[in-house]
Structure formats: C-alpha cells, structure tokens
Amino acid sequence: MDEIVPRYEFRAFAQSFGLVEKKMRQLAPCEMIRESSEVYIVSAGTSLSNTKIRHNVMDIKVLVREEQGLEQWRPSLKAEFPLAADVIRQEIFPAFAVSAPELVRPAYTLDQLVEEIVRPHPQLTAAQVFKRRSGFMVSGCIAEVAELLINGAAIKTAAVESEDVEAVVKAKEMLGLQEYENVNYLLAIKRVIGMEPLPS
C-alpha cells in the first residue's frame, strides 16, 4: 500500500470570491462539479482534528504542521458505519480530546452516533454541511471554489492544496488569495455555530 503524503492547504471563507473565482476560471477549465451532504463533528476540546462524515464514512484528519502560512493535514482514520464501540472509544474519542460516555451498543450507525453520543455530549456538536464544489487545476495544485450551507448559513470557500508547499504558495498568489486569512473547515464551522469568536 502506498504511503499517503499529507497535502498543504490554503483555504479561505467569504460571502463572495468574485475576482478569485474569475481568475481561477481564466487559468484553468472546470474539471468537475460535485455536490455532497456531510456531517462535521466539532469538539470544544481540540482544533487539531477535523472529523467529517460523507457517504456513510467517517474521515478524520489531524493537523501536522503549519508552514509558510499553510496547513498540512494527515489522514488518521477512515471507517465505514456502523462503527464498533471499541473503534469509537479507542480511536475516535481520543481525536475529539474529550471524555467518552458509556457506550451501550456493540456498534453504532451514523444516526445512532449523532443522536445518542454526539448531541447529548456537552463538548461535541454535529454540524450539517452541504457543498457544491467546482474543481480546477492551478499551477499543479488542486483548486476549488464552493458554495456551502453550514447548518443553513450560506457562505463560500476557495482553496488550493498540494503536497508541494511552494506550488500552493504560487497558486495562492496567482489567484489573489494572499489577502485572505487561512481558515480550515473546522475553524469556519466553529465560527458559524458560535463555538469560536468571529475575527475582529
């Protein structure tokens, strides 16, 4: 099995990315448009683990390092529901950095995890995220602009990512993203739902 090389990412959130999106479409054709409904589980205990559920699969990535204003995230778990209680206790809750409740079932479906474990937990929140993503290739990097609904709140995101840090820095400058704050999905969702303050 090939080793997964973590990518460096720059991501921004705003109500509009008019000039950035215009440059993206001028530099490269849109290669794909994808829509998805996802669940993010955010924890008050950490901002270092990003937990996303899409197509009935839980995907956890952890922040490895920050370099030249970029973030490098490494996949740490990918598991399909139903999830065994031992996996939830030994692999998932350590990523949340909060105490695990008593797990009464041998395994949990997605709905059972959200309704019986996440929602009652005082430090966890499940956020519903709808994405409509348009994908491009800019300067050898994966680039995208996406329309989002985070618990019904509309916002947009633009991002570039690659295993090559210098390529991401170059693509970011080509698109005019250097004027924006680098914000990952975890922080953006926490700001939207009030778990983290909005930037001043």
Mean pLDDT along residues 64-90? 97
User: Binning pLDDT at 50, 70 and 90, where does residue 200 land?
Assistant: confident
User: Binning pLDDT at 50, 70 and 90, where does residue 3 land?
Assistant: low
Residue 180 falls inside a structural domain: yes
Q: Which long-range contacts (CB under 8 A, 24 or more apart) does 74-80 make?
A: 74/4, 74/6, 75/4, 75/6, 76/49, 80/56
Residue 173 falls inside a structural domain: yes
Residue 108 falls inside a structural domain: no
User: What total of structural domains would you count in the chain?
Assistant: 1
Pair of tokens at residue 180: 């924006």
User: Binning pLDDT at 50, 70 and 90, where does residue 2 land?
Assistant: low
Residue 183 falls inside a structural domain: yes
Residue 165 falls inside a structural domain: yes
Residue 93 falls inside a structural domain: no
Residue 171 falls inside a structural domain: yes
In sequence order, the β-bridge partners of residue 38 are 129
Residue 68 falls inside a structural domain: yes
Q: Is the confidence at residue 136, as pLDDT, over 60?
A: yes
Pair of tokens at residue 24: 């993206």
Q: Is the confidence at residue 71, as pLDDT, over 50?
A: yes
Q: Which CATH number is 43's domain given?
A: 2.40.320.10
User: Binning pLDDT at 50, 70 and 90, where does residue 1 land?
Assistant: very low
Region of 111 (left: φ > 0; alpha: ψ -120 to 50; beta: rest) is: alpha
Distance CA 143, CA 162 (A): 9
Contact 71, 188 (CB under 8 A): no
- At residue 91, what are phi and psi to the nearest 5 degrees? -120, -35
At 190, which helix (H) or strand (E)?
helix 185-193
Q: What is the reported pLDDT for 5?
A: 80
If DSSP codes are grouped into helix, strand and coil, which group holds residue 199? Answer: coil
Tell me the residue range of the domain where 58 lies.
Answer: 7-74+124-193
